Amino acid sequence: MIKYILKITLFLFPIITNAQVASDSILHSERSLISEFQRLSHVEIIRQFPCFFETNPVVAFTIPCLPPVGFWEGNRISSGFGWRKHPLKGKFQHHSGIDIAGNYQYVRTTATGLVEQVGYDNALGLFVIVNHGNSYQTIYGHLADIQVKKNQFLNVGEKIGILGNTGHSTGKHLHYAIKKNSIYVNPAEYLTLGIRFLESYLRKQ
């Protein structure tokens, strides 16, 4: 399934771009539904996402279920979420996100939100954290370049930087992580959800 996701994402990016929404709609008229996301569990969000999209796509695009890079041939998930042997330390430890290996290319925000932090970390290298205002945060690490500023509002699919090899890294890749209520969750589950739903949506058009 993951390999399949990677191959069809490039086709989906024009849809993501066309789905951009206005910040005023997020900040004023949609607060009640966004606050509901804060109460719902990770599992419930995934289960109810199609309903959220049908009733309120503006709010649905604050859930990070779209791909952070355009997946043309050659990109691949090189390390999944969960326990693994660290490629540099050689010790087993929990991997908080997924690693997407590829060449230099734009990295895009996976949901509408506000840039919470940009900076450099010894492990993550150049990184960006986006707060989606609904209990979700997304983290993008090992960037070669950062193209956003703190407190900048981003529509879904906007460029935030360039995939790179900074920090503790064995090659060019993006470290992509999602937090729900400050707890790391598996990004692959959200990518699968987004791809399946968008495919279904396209078939109806």
* CA dist 192 → 8, 30, 152, 195 (Å): 11, 25, 28, 5
User: Is the pLDDT assigned to residue 18 strictly greater than 60?
Assistant: no
pLDDT value of position 163: 94
Residue type, 105: Q
Instruction: Report the candidate in 117, 116, 121, 114 with the shortest Cα–Cα distance to residue 175.
Output: 121
pLDDT value of position 12: 47
**Single pTM value for the model:** 0.80
User: Is the pLDDT assigned to residue 146 strictly greater than 70?
Assistant: yes
Residue type, 13: F
**Separation between Cα atoms, residue 195 and residue 86, nearest integer Å:** 29
Instruction: Report the candidate in 48, 170, 152, 169 with the shortest Cα–Cα distance to residue 161.
Output: 152
Domain 2-204, CATH 2.70.70.10 — does that match?
yes
Question: What pLDDT, in 10s, does the model give residues 39-75?
Answer: 888 888 888 887 877 777 777 888 998 889 876 556 7
pLDDT value of position 139: 96
Q: How many Cα atoms are found within 13 Å in the side-chain-facing hemisphere of 13?
A: 18
Question: What pLDDT, in 10s, does the model give residues 165-204?
Answer: 998 888 888 999 999 999 999 998 888 787 777 777 667 6
- Range list of β-strands (E), the chain: 76-79, 82-85, 92-95, 98-101, 106-108, 113-121, 125-131, 136-146, 153-154, 159-163, 173-180, 183-185
Domain ranges of the chain: 2-204
User: Is the pLDDT assigned to residue 138 strictly greater than 90?
Assistant: yes
